[in-house]
Amino acid sequence: MTGSARNFLEFHDVPEAGLRSIIARAGELAKAWDERTMPQSLAGKRIGLIADDGGWRNTSAFDLGIQAMGGICVHVPIGFNVREETGDLAGYLGNWFDMLVIRTKELATLKAVGAASPVPVINARTRSNHPCETLGDLAYIESRRGSIDGLKVVGVAADANILRSWAEASIALPIEVVQVFPERWHISDAALLNRRFRVSIDMGELLGADIVITDSWPGDATSEALASYRIGADLLDRLSEDAIFLPCPPVRRGEEVTTEAMEHPHCQSRAAKAFLLHAQNALMEWVAA
């Protein structure tokens, strides 16, 4: 781990036992959320929320979750690599806050913050990875299937932050992750390659999948070049009865998915994204413990 022992900068920063406890706790917090009986486990905690690259979904969920669990959330309007040294900023923020939740462009910047920060740092998204998104999906999957052990996750996506976080998850957890996409966009980062992650160009891999994920098509590709990797209802019809399809928002209908695929019973994106809040809440509890 980098910096604080409770940093969450990459999915595999947290040991398997810790990840399992967070995922299980997310299910408990989902029930508490529905019953409006949220534990006040962040009472007295002062948390700085920094988003210097836009976005709204997971930062809004962090803000809401902090307040629901009794914490104090302050939106800090700073940008990294602008006027002040990253290490200096981390030190100043540590004077006031018990935890930092940061959404920024570069993972290297976040690692620099984590190394210098006297308080734990949570990655709310970078261009390189998005571990909270994967954590939320896994919490939802466990709530539906009862276990995440032995999952086959097929990502029909290019080398980008969503897929990379699933590759990170395969380092830490007993799940198989397969990237299915043209070779030009395959993950080749040695830090992510492991025995539970592999790449392929064969869409037939989906037929044995428990979970299918997608992400937006890369901007340097043509629709014609990727047409055979578009997920449609006809393909979803061929998956196993209990398969879960999780297209990552923002979804571009007509590109990585069809409109019909978004309406298919296997598509559970909206329900799964509810667990982003619950998983992030469980993560903050774990970090603050």
Burial 170-187 (b: 16+ CB within 10 A, else e): bbbbebbbbbbbeeebbb
Above 50 in pLDDT, residue 77? yes
The pLDDT of 131-150, averaged and rounded, is: 98
Cis previous bond, 77, omega within 30: no
Please state the pTM of the whole predicted model: 0.95
The pLDDT of 193-211, averaged and rounded, is: 97
Domain(s) labelled CATH 3.40.50.1370 in the chain stretch across: 11-130+274-288, 133-272
Average pLDDT, the chain: 94
pLDDT attached to residue 221: 81
Give the H/E segment covering residue 51. strand 46-51
pLDDT attached to residue 2: 41
Backbone angles phi, psi at 274, to 5 degrees: -60, -30
The pLDDT of 111-131, averaged and rounded, is: 96
- Closest by CA to 110, choosing from 15, 7, 22, is 7
**CATH H-level, domain 11-130+274-288: superfamily:** Aspartate/ornithine carbamoyltransferase (3.40.50.1370)
Above 70 in pLDDT, residue 50? yes
Task: Tell me the three state secondary structure of residue 85.
Answer: coil
The pLDDT of 204-220, averaged and rounded, is: 95
Backbone angles phi, psi at 26, to 5 degrees: -60, -40
Q: What percent of the chain has pLDDT over 70?
A: 98
- Joined tokens for residue 258: 């069809």
Fold annotation for 133-272: Rossmann fold (3.40.50)
Rg of the Cα atoms in the chain: 19
Q: What percent of the chain has pLDDT over 90?
A: 87
CB atoms within 10 A of CB 253: 12
The pLDDT of 181-210, averaged and rounded, is: 97
Contacts of 57 (CB under 8 A, 6+ apart): 249, 273, 276
Per-residue pLDDT of 171-180, as tens digits, reads 999 999 999 9
Per-residue pLDDT of 250-272, as tens digits, reads 788 888 999 999 999 999 999 99
